[in-house]
Amino acid sequence: MASAMGVITLGGALSPAFKRQEPGRWARLGPLDSFVPEAPRKVDLEVPIKDGWMESVQAKSVWVVKGQSGEFTVYNARCTHLGCIVDWKTEKREPFSAHHWKGPAFYSPCHAGVFDINGVVLGGPPPRPLDTLESRVDRGELWCKYQDYVVGVPGKRPV
């Protein structure tokens, strides 16, 4: 009887350590009218992370692109090559002079990856386009389901 109670107690105490966190967390990005068409905007988030008993908050970033007809695309801000945070530049900058791309683009500081406004790879070693995130509109606000993906591989796989 005592050993059965011990197993039940031990199972209850250890279960949080073996429970997997639900992939993706919904995060508020802002009011719809705060996004300008064809002008990507970086939004910084705090994403709660639960690992067993430990809970913490991690800083993450996304890029929001509003299309001319009002549709939204939300990108994970991590470069798909090594996970560096990409930045939107309206013109070509010196560190990226090896690329022939002269227009606005997302640039990665890691090995000079370049992506167009649609997330398509224009140059450098990124193995796939920028990772898109699920998004929704709720009461005039844009939300996204934040998720990280494995970097350095051709296919989009959740971490």
SS3 of 2, please? helix
How far is the C-alpha of 27 from the C-alpha of 40, rounded, in Å? 18
Q: Which domains does the chain have, with CATH numbers?
A: 21-146 (2.102.10.10)
Q: How confident is the model at residue 64 (pLDDT cuts 50, 70, 90)?
A: very high
Residue 15: pLDDT over 50: no
Q: What is the separation of C-alpha 30 from the centre of its chain, rounded to a whole number of angstroms?
A: 16
Q: Give the whole-angstrom CA distance, residue 53 versus residue 112.
A: 39
Which DSSP string do the residues of 74-125 spell out, in sequence order?
EEESB-TTT-PBPEEESS--GGGTTS---S-EEE-SSTT-EE-TT--EEESS
- Work out the number of other CB atoms within 10 angstroms of the CB of residue 127: 13
Tens of pLDDT along 75-132?
A: 999 999 999 999 999 875 555 444 556 789 999 988 889 999 999 999 999 999 999 9
Q: Which range in 14-23, 34-43, 53-62 is most confidently predicted, on average pLDDT?
A: 34-43
Note the pTM of the prediction, 2 decimals: 0.80
